[in-house]
Amino acid sequence: MNVIFVEPSFPNYQREFPRSLASVGATVIGIGERPKDWLDPEMKGWLTHYEQVGSVVDVEALEQAVRRVQSYVHVDRLEATIEAHVEAAAAVRERCGIPGTSSYTAFLCRDKPAMKEALRQVGVPTAQSAGVGSAEELYAFAHHVGYPLVIKPRDAAGAAGTRRVDSDADVLAALPSLGFDYGRSVAVEEFIEGHEGFYDTISIDGEVACDFVSHYYPGVLEAMRTRWISPVFITSNRIDQPGYDEVKALGQRVIPALGIGTSATHMEWFYGPKGLKFSEIGCRPPGVGAWDLYCAANDLDVYQEWAMAVCYGRISRQPSRRFSAGIIALRPDRDGVISGYEGMAEVQDRYGGLIVDYHLPPPGTPTQPVEAGYMANAWIRMRHEDYDELRGILQHVGEIAQVRAV
């Protein structure tokens, strides 16, 4: 099995994918943007060949690199696991005759209005939404659906570029940043009140082979906009209980409806007064180290199971569900440079045995903005056999651990 993997080195967790492919016996060829000499010895050991391109989202450049590889070896799979790389990889697959996610599926998994419209047509419950390319269209949608609304890039990942608007005045304030004058369009959708979580799978031929459910506290939009909050997400070890049946059934309808075959998936959902609602899905793994939490919680190398699915159309083991595991993001109290930490000794004394790993940037490190995400500054990952206990512990850690900046 000869597998091309796109961008094996950045971000850092990308290295787990070529590692896992090599571990199951695949011949792994890398295509990336950094020079080959920059690859560390471990990465060079996993890759049998490496092609450098100026940009992995440049379809022409990526195609040329793939065809160079095809000139000397048959390519069985071409894999990309970063949201921004998915469409380019799909286009090159089709040009080069390589099986995998199609361009149409990749488009649906990137373009939020098209995704939701495709799913509404098969009865999947989702927020009212549209793609709009002018202020007039935006106001018309707002006056038809009503406030609050969410405006986001059509191809947004996570909460990047996403904002809530509650009035015509909020829309007016947002207009200069939306790019309508330059021919851009954006996604606008009904704001769904309720709890937010995600359902992640390794799917094979459109069927879920392995799955995980996680919960956000608070929701992503609030978490990425509010400095004083130390946000958390937790993967549940209760997923096999009946309370999760509706979420799992939703995901298992969405995956084949969008034509997703053998792939990792990451689906966001809301549950509130209007019931369970689909939010969005990507035909790629979740970001911010979620699979590392799944590994720690389930006595399982999730990356290796993905590699088994890609290479052999099966997985070798199911998750144990032994632990719940979560991450808490610790935000600096202001922008600047980190000056020190408070409360970490207490965290270690109380909960050291539950800590999976952590990242505490040293004093003098420039801070990253709140909206940069869960792993942008300091963070701690923990696990516990009881979900509710873990949630309370992470909340307590957020109260006692403080990151100071000047």
| pLDDT digit string, tens, across residues 39-81 | 999 999 999 999 999 999 999 999 999 999 999 999 999 999 9
Residue 165 contacts residue 149 (beta carbons within 8 Å): yes
Is CATH 3.30.1490.20 what the domain over 128-190 is classified as, yes or no? Answer: yes
Residue ranges of the chain assigned to CATH 3.40.50.20: 2-100
What confidence category does residue 157 fall into, taking pLDDT thresholds of 50, 70 and 90?
low
CA-to-CA distance for 130 and 132, rounded, in angstroms?
6
- Read off the pTM: 0.92
What CATH architecture applies to the domain 195-405?
Answer: 2-Layer Sandwich (3.30)
Residue 197 pLDDT level (bands cut at 50, 70, 90): very high
As annotated, the residues of the chain forming the CATH 3.30.1490.20 domain(s) are 128-190
The CATH number for 2-100, chosen from 3.30.70.360, 3.30.930.10, 3.40.50.20, 3.40.50.720, is: 3.40.50.20
The two structure tokens encoding residue 300: 């399982």
Residue 397 has pLDDT above 70, yes or no: yes
Cα dist. 232→216, 293, 391 in Å? 6, 12, 8
| Numbered ranges of CATH 3.30.470.20 in the chain | 195-405
Label residue 308 left, alpha or beta by phi (over 0 means left) and psi (-120 to 50 means alpha).
alpha
Other Cβ atoms within 10 Å of 108 Cβ, number: 22
Strand order in the sheet with 163-165: 129-132, 186-190, 149-153, 163-165
pLDDT of residue 38: 94
The pLDDT, as a whole number, for residue 11 is 87
Q: Per mean pLDDT, which range of 72-76, 108-112, 158-162, 260-264 is the poorest?
A: 158-162
